[in-house]
Amino acid sequence: MNKIIDGIKVSSDIKSEIKKEISSFKKDGKRVPSLSIVLVGNHTASSIYVNAKVRACKDVGIDVNLINLNDNISELDLLEIISELNNKSDLDGFIVQLPLPPQVNVQNVIDSISPAKDVDGFTNDNIGSITSEVKKLLPATGLGVMTLIERYNIDIESKSCAILGSSRNVGAAIAQMLMQKEQVTVTVCNSKTKNLKEITRNSDIIISAVGKPNLVTSDMVKEGAVIIDVGISRIRDDSKKSGYRIVGDVDYDNVLPKVSLITPVPGGVGPMTIASLIQNTLRAYRNNEKR
Ligand code: GUN
């Protein structure tokens, strides 16, 4: 049995479904969904992610616009640009790619984004909706992880799940999404957690969202576990033309023999975050059309 969860395939299936929907809008003479992506500076990794997002949006027929801003932009000027995007009625959604330069307070930026256009699902209103009856625009990475769990029919009933990393937008959001299912027992770990190995060894599912290569080693993994690796780090690799390669949090080669299912990095959760961004953009478009 194939143990590798193919995030590229699932994301490509979702994109094909959405592409069909968007072409039907066009046939009906309707406008297509629109998205702006704000990129501050030219952080190499961010530029790569943003280019992948732009390409994916174009592929499905979303009208995508990249806004490149100078690295030395003031917080006030950035908030002004966000306010303009919030007020643009024909714009369905936008994201501000993170990280941001040190002179800009990230939370102030997130708090200034209109929840209706927050297709990353980072605002308090959208994160809070995870625990409410009516879900809004859910955090894109968490949504991607949940989609993989659903499309691979991963059995979560009465299972134990360790989440490594408790960041608001990712680890904690995934924990809440899973808890909403009322089926799985979730343990959220952080850098202060004692006996991490004991927790992970007793977990049926491990979701790691830390950004630390080789954090999860084979001695930490139970035989037959499911592993979802949300980490993305660049490590030096002189054998590559670029001089680096992308790895997750999991010591993949050594963990692989023990698991029942695992997401590779790259090609696991990463493409799913983009698929979720596209799903959220379509959702924001639908809501905008109703307004
Ligand atoms: N930086 C790394 N991942 C993300 C993401 O999903 N959204 C945004 N806005 N920035 C990121």
Q: Report the alpha-carbon distance of residue 277 to residue 171 in Å, rounded.
A: 17
Coil, strand, or helix at residue 154? coil
User: Which CATH entry fits the domain spanning 22-120: 3.40.50.10860, 3.40.50.1010, 3.30.450.40, 3.90.170.10?
Assistant: 3.40.50.10860
Pairing of strands 160-164, 93-96: unpaired
Mutation to probe ligand 1, out of 11, 35, 54, 95 (largest number of atoms < 8 A from CB): 95
The residue extents of the domains of the chain are 22-120, 140-271
Which two three-digit tokens encode residue 170? 């990712």
Which two three-digit tokens encode residue 142? 């968490």
Domains 22-120 and 140-271 share a fold: yes
- Ligand 1 atom with minimal separation from the 273 CA: 6
Backbone φ, ψ for residue 138 (5° rounding): -80, 150
Q: Please work out whether the CB of residue 140 comes within 6 Å of at least one atom of ligand 1.
A: yes
Coil, strand, or helix at residue 167? coil
Residue 99, preceding bond cis, omega within 30 degrees?
yes
Closest by CA to 140, choosing from 156, 164, 118, 165, is 118
Nearest alpha carbon, ligand 1 atom 2: 98
The count of residues in the chain is 291
279 Cα: distance to centroid of ligand 1 (angstroms): 15
Closest by CA to 145, choosing from 115, 114, 181, 198, is 181
Looking at residue 66, its pLDDT comes to 98
Q: Of residues 92, 97, 204, 249, which has the active-site annotation?
A: 97
Instruction: Indicate whether this model's pTM tops 0.95.
Output: yes
Q: Is 53 a catalytic residue?
A: yes
Mutation to probe ligand 1, out of 43, 98, 272, 276 (largest number of atoms < 8 A from CB): 98
Q: Report the alpha-carbon distance of residue 76 to residue 233 in Å, rounded.
A: 31
- Residue 86: count of CB within 10 angstroms of its CB: 16
Pairing of strands 205-208, 160-164: parallel
User: Which CATH entry fits the domain spanning 140-271: 3.40.50.300, 3.30.450.70, 3.40.50.720, 3.10.450.750?
Assistant: 3.40.50.720
How does DSSP classify residue 66?
E
Return all residues near 34 (Cβ < 8 A) that are at least 6 apart: 62, 63, 64, 65, 90, 91, 92, 93, 285
43 Cα: distance to centroid of ligand 1 (angstroms): 13
Q: Report the alpha-carbon distance of residue 283 to residue 291 in Å, rounded.
A: 13
- Ligand 1 atom with minimal separation from the 277 CA: 6
Burial class (CB in 10 A: 0-12, 13-18, 19+), 28: exposed
Closest by CA to 205, choosing from 226, 184, 230, 231, is 226
Per-residue pLDDT of the chain (291 residues; tens, 9 = 90+): 699 999 999 999 999 999 999 999 999 999 999 999 999 998 888 999 999 999 999 999 999 999 999 999 999 999 999 999 999 999 999 999 999 999 999 999 999 999 999 999 999 999 999 999 999 999 999 999 999 999 999 999 999 999 999 999 999 999 999 999 999 999 999 999 999 999 999 999 999 999 999 999 999 999 999 999 999 999 999 999 999 999 999 999 999 999 999 999 999 999 999 999 999 999 999 999 998
Looking at residue 182, its pLDDT comes to 96
Q: Of residues 53, 204, 229, 279, which has the active-site annotation?
A: 53
